[in-house]
Amino acid sequence: MSNWEILWSARDQFWSGFFSTMEIFGLSISAAFLIGCGMLYLLEGSRPRLTVPLRVFIDGMRMLPFLILAYLLYYGLPAFDIRLDAWWSGVGALAVYHGCYFAEIFRGARLTFPPGQVEAAKAHGFTKGKMFFRLILPQIVMQTRPLLGNQLIYALKDTAFLVIITVQELTAAANSLAGTYFIPTEAFIVVIGFYWAVSVVMEIIIKQCGRFSAKRGFDHV
């Protein structure tokens, strides 16, 4: 049997790793998006007692290597009597870490949001919550679409770190096959193919979403 035939016969391991990666990615990136939106909402208005600690937290996360955060959640939290299994530690770490990146991307766009539109909303009787979710946030998301697409790819790649805290995902599957049959080159080439394929599909979807915003004058696709 050639090395490639060995991998083919073990394809079920790849698939299960792949689905596990996609599950982790889908769940954590959705949570990260909501965390980013929530943080942007909390940063609205001028309550320094809330906004200053939040900004420090966001920056603290962004300046932290992702792997350290994953370690901290998996190995560090039990010291405080909080025990998460490897899977939930990984999902939690990804969600919080990329949530902070999302928040920072949104915050940058919020700074250049036209104040006249907020005035128009106030003049029409809008209060903070509805104004934010119906008028500000949709525009911020459309405007930051290319950056969000980029962040999705970062998040996908960061799922590979979770192999180190024993999550059984795609990279773990490749690792195990590489070790069992001593064929690291082929095994890792296969996972590269998986990561590339998912990234390319995401790029296409994000690009298609660009048409939606281009129609409204937000960008040019």
Partner 1 sequence: MFEKNTSEQTAVSIRHLSKSFDGVEVLRDVDLEVREGDVVTILGSSGSGKSTLLRCINWLEQPDRGSIHIGGQRIGVNDAGRPMPVRELAKVRARTGMVFQSFNLWPHLNVLHNITEAPIHVLGKSKAEAEAHARELLEKVGMSPKADAYPNTLSGGQKQRVAIARALAMQPEVMLFDEPTSALDPELVGEVLAVIKDLSAEGYTMIVVTHEMAFSRAVSDKVVFLDKGLIIEQADPETFFTNPSTERVRKFLEREES
* Interface ranges with partner 1 (CB under 8 A): 114, 116-117, 119-128, 130, 134-135, 138-139, 142, 213, 215-218
Q: Structure tokens of 33?
A: 């998006």
Q: What is the nearest approach in angstroms of partner 1 to the Cβ of residue 55?
A: 24
Q: Which is nearer to partner 1, 113 or 181 (CB)?
A: 113
Q: Which is nearer to partner 1, 38 or 129 (CB)?
A: 129
3-state secondary structure of 57: helix
Cβ neighbours, 10 Å, residue 115:
7
Q: What is the nearest approach in angstroms of partner 1 to the Cβ of residue 116?
A: 4
Q: What is the nearest approach in angstroms of partner 1 to the Cβ of residue 204?
A: 23
Q: Which is nearer to partner 1, 135 or 221 (CB)?
A: 135
Cβ-contact 74, 84 below 8 angstroms:
yes
Q: Structure tokens of 84?
A: 């998460």
Q: What is the nearest approach in angstroms of partner 1 to the Cβ of residue 216?
A: 5
Cα(2)–Cα(5) distance, integer angstroms: 5
Q: Structure tokens of 134?
A: 């119906």
